[in-house]
Structure 1
Amino acid sequence: MKNIFDLVNAEEIATYYTNNPSNNIPYLGGTLFPPKKQLGLDLSWIKGHNGLPVALMPSAFDAKATLRDRIGISKIQTEMPFFREAMRIGEKERQELNKAAGSMNSAYVMPIIQRIYDDVNNLVEGAEVNNERMRMQLLSTGKISITANRVNYDYDYKFSPEHKETLLTGARWSNVESSTPIQDIQRWVNKIEENTGDKPTRAICTLKTWNYLLANKSVRLDMNPIGADNIILTDNMLKQYLSAKLGLTVAVYNKKYALTDGSTHQFFPDDVFTLIPEGNLGNTYFGTTPEESDLMSGNTDAKVQIVNTGVAITTIKEPHPVNVQTIVSEIALPSFEKIDSIFIAKVNEEL
């Protein structure tokens, strides 16, 4: 007869996560900073509740994983932050599992198992939320800040102050009557090309920032000289205009995540317009978590599986009371080799 350890283990959980189609859709930052594996921890060479995923809380090395309830950083060693959280099957669920397993009826067992797997799936998804937050911080500020569990760390990638600009009051894009965003973008593109020889051909902004462009008088007049009020401007029309006028493709990125306090936030901030060149901007590097290190050395009774290049799913048997603890951990940090070819503009408020 199957027991709880047969039903809930790292291999089965990893297979469930990997085969879930929704987990195969990458975040925008994941396409710009593709994943790479780095053995160990040292990356000192790196340059410069509404159904939303919950970010993993940071955790210290040699500390027990923070236990998360069924809903839903870390001490730094060398350069890479360590994220780790855990969940334990509750007394009620364990009793349900034992009764269902005893009946050997999959119609009773599988709904309980899937609920548990979904909880772990949320932990793994939370790891990718952290990665996307770091990548979008880089693209909107040039820095990464991590604050949680009484841990505060800032990663300064030494972004060039020449490649940042805060528009003054009269030129802010929220002033749709008098601002000139096309000239602003041309100036920023030229600055990057002059300094690096690399021409930005893509941009990232939120819907709020994009709507400034849709409503801008100078843009509407350029598209229809008869009169700015005589054109019903759509998203596709504006995208075609920017492509023809500036050779620019804009990603309007409004994806959100949730924190453990229930608040929701955008990955990329409003009122920022970031210009980027073609190709990868860097990589999302994954180090070796303590759980993965134990797996590699064979020095563990736990079951460990790796998903998403470097996220470790670990299941540990607890003999009394009989239970399974599941831990999800990662060590990750993006590099930013193309940092000098990026321009970050604050188009409505002071940085």
Structure 2
Amino acid sequence: MTLSIYDYIKAKEIGTYYNASKDNKTEYFGQSLFPRKKQLGLDLRWIKGSKGVPVVLKASAFDAKSDIRDRIGIQEIQTEMPFFKESMLVKEKDRQELNKIIASGNQDYIDLILTKIFDDTTTLLDGAEAQEERMRMQLLSDGKISAVSDGVIYDYDYKFNSNHKEALISTAMWSDLESSNPVADIQRWKDVIIDDTGVEPTKAICTRKVWNYLMNNKKIKLDMNPAGGQNIIMTDKMLVQYLESKLNVTITVYNRRYAEGGETKQFFPDDKFTLYPDKNLGNTYFGTTPEESDLMTSNKAEVSIVNKGMAITTTEETDPVNVSTKVSMITLPSFENIDEVFIATVHQ
């Protein structure tokens, strides 16, 4: 029997290839703080915010004024959790090449073309992972998730404690290397969380830009070397050791980026510094996509699930003869330990 592209490009094979390729990729930082977890259904009552209460979904009118922040584009709202979906077709040239090679029976060439096609397809899964990380980093930097669908802005409000936020102003901003006092700021923020919750935040996250403020801060340099003062030659390792000794805080410098609309953006913003405890902050929940619930047993498509809830769906197209590959997910992080986090804006 002669095989066709339908026999080679299947959701199961794509999922297997993607899982194998993950060994060569660096896991997103937020996944360690918000590990993936599967749930049935899509109801937000399972997604917890402050005090363990459900997250509130707020839709903003088209002309309403709102904060300027990076908003995540979503396909639609499915029973209150955001639904992401994207698809692609096997390129015409690749399909023709694969058809010719299939006819030749040369398995090495077949594998070569399939690898190229699978690499193209797994970019959809890479994009789905990036959407997860955007939501997690929005929570860590703002305490809420902002999304847009069909021009309507949706805010997933986790009821972040306003007393656990502070925006530095004037000479207190860390960009003022002469006057600012980051050590005193961090200790003050830690004390707020300890007093309110009894939990000591011993971890923090910021970008390289904010880290460089700390590296060049006059008061930090003087404290590290009172005799030499500003002449100290600071290194990353020296600052890490100083902050761990002085404040019992280990800082992750996170500058990983994603691409959107022809430009690259940082997952975590340049102006924020977030303190948190050394434990999971919540979970990245996955609901059941329509593809998973309705097509797993269908003969019209093939579905494979990776990463707890990302659905890969392959469908045969007859006009033109082709294979459509779709990746979809319904996901939202919870934030059970939100009250043990402090978010500071250190530069404006």
Return the alpha-carbon distance in structure 2 between the equivalents of residues 257 and 23 of structure 1: 18
Structure 2 residue aligned with 1:163: 164
1:1-351 correspondence to structure 2 within 5 Å = 1-22=2-23, 25-48=26-49, 73-147=74-148, 150-259=151-260, 261-296=261-296, 298-349=297-348
How far did residue 151 of structure 1 move? 4.7
Return the alpha-carbon distance in structure 2 between the equivalents of residues 86 and 143 of structure 1: 28
Report the 3-state secondary structure (helix = DSSP H, G, I; strand = E; otherwise coil) of the residue aligned with 1:204.
strand
Bigger shift: residues 140-149 or 323-332: 140-149
Report the 3-state secondary structure (helix = DSSP H, G, I; strand = E; otherwise coil) of the residue aligned with 1:39.
coil
Return the alpha-carbon distance in structure 2 between the equivalents of residues 219 and 177 of structure 1: 10
Tell me the TM-score normalized by structure 1.
0.89
How far did residue 218 of structure 1 move? 0.4
Return the alpha-carbon distance in structure 2 between the equivalents of residues 347 and 125 of structure 1: 31
Return the alpha-carbon distance in structure 1 between the equivalents of residues 163 and 196 of structure 2: 10
How far did residue 99 of structure 1 move? 0.7
Structure 1 alignment gaps of length 5 or more: 49-72
Kindly report the root-mean-square deviation, in angstroms, between the aligned alpha carbons of the 2 structures: 1.4
Bigger shift: residues 223-232 or 198-207: 223-232
How far did residue 24 of structure 1 move? 5.2
Return the alpha-carbon distance in structure 2 between the equivalents of residues 151 and 121 of structure 1: 29
How far did residue 271 of structure 1 move? 1.6
How far did residue 237 of structure 1 move? 0.5
Structure 1 residue aligned with 2:55: none
Return the alpha-carbon distance in structure 2 between the equivalents of residues 152 and 103 of structure 1: 53
How far did residue 89 of structure 1 move? 1.4
Structure 1 residue aligned with 2:64: none
- Given residue 300 of structure 2, which amino acid in structure 1 is its aligned partner? D
Identity, % of aligned positions? 59
Q: How many residue pairs align between the two structures?
A: 323
- Given residue 161 of structure 2, which amino acid in structure 1 is its aligned partner? S
How far did residue 149 of structure 1 move? 5.1
Structure 2 alignment gaps of length 5 or more: 50-73
C-alpha distance after superposition, 1:9-38 (max 9, x if no partner): 111111110001456532110000000001
Return the alpha-carbon distance in structure 2 between the equivalents of residues 180 and 258 of structure 1: 35
Return the alpha-carbon distance in structure 2 between the equivalents of residues 79 and 248 of structure 1: 37
Return the alpha-carbon distance in structure 2 between the equivalents of residues 292 and 93 of structure 1: 28
